[in-house]
């Protein structure tokens, strides 16, 4: 059975392997990531970008290990199939959240690690990422990208404005209060709180209360325009 490890361990192992490489004797990407393949969890993905020229849109994205993470919101593995960067389905995502950092690490030939908060096909998502460029005196020919999924939140079916009472109910839900506790705190009847929650679920297309809260958090992230 494959072992799994925290993403920090995966990152550390790859950095150790990368540090031992030399620009005078360039190595293959496999020589850097080979030792971590058995450590990847279902929430981790490993991809290699093949640098084929000056334009990142012409670079090729090759998946080494798909994530085992599944969601009803979006088919991540289907979306991140092998392709030319310029042919990726969400071009805006690539130009906003991937290409600038790829260009930076290729130019500097130095790794980059970060928490990425962005949007993909209208879905808010966050993930830890490390980018490792090939050390090569003649210019990097590949970049390893490994990521660890943090959250994946779908947008509401409709953009609604909540009134003051609904905002208060949502805030208390996020803080962990039950419907009965919210009723007491806001001086409302339990039936009124339940009725407002049912109405919000209908308006936003949420399947249950937990789903409603997740969608409202996603809407907030989207308004914040995090990238």
Chain segment 109-163, per-residue pLDDT in tens: 999 999 998 888 877 788 999 999 999 999 999 999 999 988 765 555 555 567 7
Sort strands 44-50 and 142-153 into parallel, antiparallel or unpaired.
antiparallel
pTM of the model: 0.71
Task: Give the span between the Cα atoms of 171 and 42, in whole angstroms.
Answer: 32
Chain segment 192-216, per-residue pLDDT in tens: 999 999 988 888 778 888 888 777 7
Residue 131 burial by Cβ neighbours in a 10 Å radius (0-12, 13-18, 19+):
buried
């Amino acid at each position: 059975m494959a072992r799994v490890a925290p993403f920090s361990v995966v990152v550390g192992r790859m950095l150790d392997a990368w540090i031992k490489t030399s620009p005078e004797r360039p190595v293959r990407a496999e020589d850097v990531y080979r030792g971590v393949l058995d450590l990847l969890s279902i929430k981790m993905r490993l991809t290699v970008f093949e640098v084929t020229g000056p334009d990142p849109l012409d670079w090729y994205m090759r998946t080494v290990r798909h994530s085992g993470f599944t969601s009803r919101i979006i088919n991540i593995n289907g979306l991140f199939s092998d392709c030319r960067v310029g042919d990726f389905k969400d071009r805006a995502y690539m130009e906003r959240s991937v290409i600038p950092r790829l260009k930076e690490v290729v130019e500097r030939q130095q790794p980059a690690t970060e928490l990425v908060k962005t949007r993909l096909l209208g879905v808010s998502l966050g993930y830890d990422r490390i980018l490792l460029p090939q050390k090569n005196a003649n210019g990097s020919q590949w970049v390893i990208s490994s990521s660890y999924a943090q959250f994946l939140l779908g947008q509401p079916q409709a953009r609604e404005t909540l009134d003051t009472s609904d905002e208060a109910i949502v805030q208390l839900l996020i803080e962990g209060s039950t419907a009965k506790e919210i009723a007491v705190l806001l001086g409302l009847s339990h039936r009124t709180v339940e009725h407002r929650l049912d109405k919000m679920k209908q308006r936003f297309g949420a399947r249950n209360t937990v789903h409603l809260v997740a969608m409202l958090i996603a809407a907030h992230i989207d308004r914040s325009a995090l990238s």
